[in-house]
Amino acid sequence: MSVTATAPPAARGSRGSALGRLTLTELKLLLRERVRLIVGVGIPLILVIIFGSIPFYNHPARVFGGLTLLDEYVSILSAFSLAVLSLTVVPMVLADYRAKGVLRRLRTTPVGPWRVLAAQVLVDLALAVVAVAVILAVARIGYGVFLPRQLAGFVVATLLAAAALMAIGLFIAALAPSGRAGMTTGQVLLIPMMFFAGLFIPIPAMSPAVQHVSHATPLGAAVEAMQYAAQGHWPHLLPLLTMAAYAVAFGLAAARLFRWE
């Protein structure tokens, strides 16, 4: 290729917006980094397959009003997938970008660092949607779990859960000094949050006091709303409002505290 000082600028019409380009780039990086795919989609999916293959999980139980344990677990594992992506992957990537000066470098361009944040969240949201869809599809096809009967309600609950969890993930990213610190903080938070979401003990089997705490946590509220919608009802307002409150509170705190370097 010959080099001339007057080389024509690259075709501009096909370049698209900077946000579009950044999102596409982040998507490519995501696909190259298998860890994120395995953590966000692979692990919840493997859990669906394991639980689905254990007969105990596949028998209708009275405590769940005649549903199987797996029916309950599909919502829990969907929420788990959202939580893993939001609480570990988002802080890991963004804190790493800050530590490496990627965000500082972007501050000196016309685009600024906000868009890379937005691109990252968009890509992880898209991955979360894919993860939930795959979990529902595998549970339906492989183990005869019904798809959410109140689909619109399920979508609203899932999106609000994603918003609340992403806001918490951004909050962690705002404070974490490094990618590793961000991921570790997210993982540590994930364990109690998953407990209150009923991953270890189903919520109906918890004592009433613990159930109250569970409903106040972002993942407890998410699972409550998602399970209700899965059974065919529009989710109650309280868990939806709880999730919205988390999204707003942590979103504002993250915006205030986020440092570019």
Partner 1 sequence: MSAVIEVQHLHKSYGDTVAVDDVSFTVADGEIFGILGPNGAGKTTTVESIEGLRTPDRGTISVLGLDPRRDRAELTQRLGAQLQDSQLPDRLQVAEALELYSSFYRAPADWRALMDVLGLAAQSKTRFGQLSGGQKQRLSIALALVGNPRVVVLDELTTGLDPQARRDTWALIEGVRDRGVTILLVTHFMEEAERLCDRVALIDAGRVVAMDTPAGLAGRVQADQRIQFRPSVPLDDALLTSLPDVTSVTRRGDVVVVTGNSNALNAVTSVLARHQIVAQQLRVEQASLEDAFIALTSSADRN
Pick the stretch among 3-11, 74-82, 156-164, 192-200 that binds partner 1 (CB under 8 A): 3-11
Tracing tokens 């639980």 back to the chain, one arrives at: 51
Contact stretch for partner 1 (CB under 8 A) within 63-71, 106-114, 164-172, 195-203 = 106-114
**246 neighbors 218 (Cβ within 8 angstroms):** yes
By CB under 8 A, tell whether 259 contacts partner 1: no
- CB of 120 within 8 A of CB of 110? no
Q: Cα separation of 169 and 181, whole Å? A: 12
- Note whether 107 binds partner 1 by CB under 8 A: yes
**Measuring CA to CA, how many Å separate 118 from each of 15, 122, 136?**
19, 6, 27
The reply to whether 180 sits near partner 1 by the rule CB under 8 A is no
Interface residue with partner 1, options 27, 37, 61, 102 (CB under 8 A): 102
Binding status of residue 32 toward partner 1 by CB under 8 A = yes
Q: Which of 35, 46, 60, 100 binds partner 1 (CB under 8 A)?
A: 100
Which of 59, 62, 108, 237 binds partner 1 (CB under 8 A)? It is 108
Residue the block writes with tokens 């364990």: 191
CB of 121 to partner 1, least distance (A): 16
Q: Looking at beta carbons only, is 32 or 62 nearer to partner 1?
A: 32
Q: Residue 145 and residue 108: Cα distance in Å, rounded?
A: 51
Residue type, 237: L
Question: How far apart are CB 25 and partner 1 at their closest, in Å?
Answer: 5
In angstroms, give the least distance from the CB of 151 to partner 1. Answer: 36
Kind and range of the H or E element at 54?
Answer: none
Q: Is 197 exposed, middle or buried (0-12, 13-18, 19+ CB in 10 A)?
A: buried
CB of 10 to partner 1, least distance (A): 6
Nearer to partner 1, 35 or 63 (CB): 35
**Cα angle, residue 218 at apex, residues 144 and 161 outer, rounded to 5°:** 55
CB 190 within 8 A of CB 95: no
Cβ distance to partner 1 smaller for residue 115 or 215: 115
Of 46, 63, 65, 109, which one interacts with partner 1 (CB under 8 A)? 109
CB of 50 to partner 1, least distance (A): 31
- Regarding 28 and contact with partner 1 (CB under 8 A), the answer is yes
Burial classification of residue 181, based on how many CB atoms lie within 10 Å of its CB (0-12 exposed, 13-18 middle, 19 or more buried): middle
DSSP string, 6-74: TPPPPPSGGG--HHHHHHHHHHHHHHH-HHHHIIIIIHHHHHHHHHHHSGGGGSB-GGGTT-BHHHHHH
Least Å from the CB of residue 33 to partner 1? 6
Q: What type of residue sits at position 127?
A: L
111 contacts partner 1 (rule: CB under 8 A): yes
**Binding residues for partner 1 (CB under 8 A):** 1, 3-5, 7-10, 15-16, 18, 21-22, 25, 28-29, 32-33, 97, 100-102, 104-105, 107-112
